[in-house]
Amino acid sequence: SDRQLEYVGRADHQVKIRGFRIELGEIEAQLLRQPEVREALVMARPSDGGSRLVAYVSLKQGLSAGQPVEPVEERSLVPERQAVPAAADQAAEHPAIQTSERGADTSQDAALLLRQRLDEVLPAHMVPAAIVVMDALPLNANGKVARNALPDPAFAASDAYAAPEGETEEALAQLWQTLLNQPRVGRHDNFFELGGHSLLAVTLVSRIQQTMQVHVEVKDIFLHPTVTELASVCVPAAGQAAQTQALDDIEQFISGLLN
């Protein structure tokens, strides 16, 4: 009405995941603040009926993944360099370019370290579910990132696996394995980091109530997203009914006193 325009960013650089509107550029900027990172690109990738954030990064040559973080000036998304071929046949020839020249172990360490740093500065819904470390991001003839040549990420459970404890945790972990197509689920694994989203949360609640006879609500999945956290708030259906009856009795008693 006042004829003023509000700039909210490029439409193709915004995504909505699990109800949160996310500016991908904010995540890329945090990655580029790390002294090891030369290039960074974040995008949403489809996963089991939903979308998950994936970051693709290349590291500076000669820098180790464990170098301490130091403030650096913000850099452009992809520094100028000669374009590398990104044809479909080349992508097929190197289908899993997820390791740097320092080897798979170092790349995995770098990805884990970068994720830990993002955990410290970004809200949970903005932390990528996977970080893929590459020698270089593939460019097309125009010098832009060839997104169709980027490898598929490997979404996996937490590296620090801890087996479920007790019947409730074991039952929940089994449900998560089936629903999220995971080979195993540990007690500290996060439902959303493994690919869960709001629709799957509704399905999970339904299956929990059917198979475990406990009372749990969709909001509990968001508030307690790990197996051990959710197990701590699962109330047996009979216990929930007893609690409800007790509250009703108290209300009737108070009402009788007032009348």
Q: Is the pLDDT of residue 74 over 60?
A: no
pLDDT band at residue 68, thresholds of 50, 70 and 90? very low
List, in order, residues 6 or more apart from 151 with CB less than 8 Å away.
91, 95, 96, 97, 98, 132, 134
Residues 48 and 145 in one domain: yes
Residues 108 and 186 in one domain: no
Alpha-carbon distance 176 to 170, whole Å?
Answer: 10
| Token pair listed for 163 | 């087996």
DSSP state of 45: E
pLDDT band at residue 256, thresholds of 50, 70 and 90? low
Averaged pLDDT for residues 130-158: 84
In a domain, 73, yes or no: no
pLDDT on residue 11: 52
**CA 63 centroid distance within chain:** 26
Mean pLDDT score across all residues of the chain: 74
User: What is the number of domains present in the chain?
Assistant: 2
Residues 150 and 179 in one domain: no
220 touches 240 (CB < 8 A): no
Per residue in 105-142, pLDDT tens?
A: 567 788 888 988 998 898 878 888 889 999 899 999 99
List, in order, residues 6 or more apart from 99 with CB less than 8 Å away.
106, 107, 133
Residues 139 and 230 in one domain: no
Per residue in 162-205, pLDDT tens?
A: 899 999 999 999 999 999 888 889 998 888 778 787 788 899 99
Spell out the alpha helix ranges (H) of the chain: 24-32, 88-93, 104-121, 166-180, 198-212, 218-223, 227-233, 237-258
Of the residues 120, 155, 190, the one at which a domain ends: 155
Residues 21 and 129 in one domain: yes
Residues 127 and 46 in one domain: yes
Q: Which domain holds residue 42?
A: 1-61+102-155
User: Considering only CA atoms, which of 185, 182, 196 is closest in space to residue 163?
Assistant: 185
Q: Is the pLDDT of residue 29 over 90?
A: yes
- Cα of first residue to Cα of last residue in the chain, in angstroms, is 55
Q: Is the pLDDT of residue 243 over 70?
A: no
pLDDT on residue 111: 85
The helix or strand, by DSSP H or E, that contains position 14, with its residue range, turns out to be strand 14-17
In a domain, 206, yes or no: yes
Residues 22 and 142 in one domain: yes
- In this structure, what CATH number is given to the domain that contains residue 132? 3.30.300.30
Per residue in 34-63, pLDDT tens?
A: 999 999 999 998 876 567 889 999 998 755
Query: What is the widest separation between alpha-carbon atoms in the chain?
Result: 84
In a domain, 119, yes or no: yes
- 27: exposed, middle or buried (C-beta count within 10 Å: 0-12, 13-18, 19+)? buried
pLDDT on residue 30: 96
Helix (H, G, I), strand (E, B) or coil at 243: helix
